[in-house]
Structure 1
């Protein structure tokens, strides 16, 4: 059974509801009692496309799915929630990115793990730290060493994932 971490993001069609629905779907992929999710954070969009702020979180869970099976399942959840891939870094109903799959390093045409941009993204690092503060990355970098006050200042809590 693999420990995985998935980034969640949305900025269209009621983003908090999109993340809540995604968490429900992710629960079906998780081993019993293994699912956790960070608080939800608001963050500015990446790139030059004019669009609303994002709501982001990170979920962690154990799964029996292989990396590609998990990727397929994540993309299916995105599609079920109306995800359209029209514009790079454009607005979206839901974005699910596989950040980590155990300590594996994967570099294939469809999947790169650890996720290629996770070290530079406050909206990934801070929520990941919330649920896995002692985590070390596959290269043995301690997650806490990547967290700074400046990074924390980039985010505002949108809603605790346990609030309704």
Structure 2
């Protein structure tokens, strides 16, 4: 006869994680989230407990440099000074992105400031979005931020292009 597991509160989970448990059997649940079976815990807590691990990649230009990663668990931030869309394409080509549940991209401002044409920006964004969608796990959430306002150039035409491309590739635009 099986009994239902006790309710697990976040403080218990934190305490268990800090006790350096033996991690086994990384798998994916039906929702696509990574799950880990943890053993070797305090006897008052269930022998096996599932912990959902969410992994994020935040990638883009130097506007990301002020992100404080200290409290961002399971988050990788790739800040690339002066990066243009094509630079992020080259980074993504060489990176295994299947491990990430969510990927947040912030890029485009340097392309606009450096005088890239709307056609070139659109082609490069399309290449980047296609690459992300094709290399990432099918359950990965891909989020692309709009280019924030700039003093030196109007970003609205680029953001309109980005919205259309994100719709086409089923990518979130924020």
Q: Same fold (TM over 0.5)?
A: no
TM-score, normalised to structure 2, is 0.26
Higher relative contact order (CA 8 A, sep 6+): 1
